[in-house]
Amino acid sequence: MRRRIAWIGAACLAGLALVFVAAVLVLRSAWFNEKVRERVVSTVETATGAASRPDRFSSIGGGFGPRSGPLPSTARRPPASRRCSAPEPSPWG
């Protein structure tokens, strides 16, 4: 019985090690980098309502999260007459 538990434990550890190695290989791949870049661009386009294209992009390297360069946007600024101004002060303080 004790030997069987040891084999099951060893198999579980080997499986976890295999999953860890596979995850590292996938997260460092160009395919994953491209998927993250597409997701970031899609999120920026949804948030701004304009097409954007990062000048440079890298999700590989130190730190957490992707790194991106400036995002040129095709959005145009509204004319000066339609721009938002500072809110009026409230009479209640």
Per-residue pLDDT of the chain (93 residues; tens, 9 = 90+): 899 999 999 999 999 999 999 998 888 888 888 888 888 888 888 887 777 766 666 655 554 455 555 555 555 555 555 555 666 777 775
What is the share, in percent, of the chain residues with pLDDT greater than 90? 23
Q: What pLDDT sits at residue 56?
A: 63
Q: Are 57 and 66 in contact (CB under 8 A)?
A: yes
Q: Are 57 and 30 in contact (CB under 8 A)?
A: no
Q: Are 53 and 71 in contact (CB under 8 A)?
A: yes
Q: What pLDDT sits at residue 57?
A: 64
Q: Are 75 and 49 in contact (CB under 8 A)?
A: yes
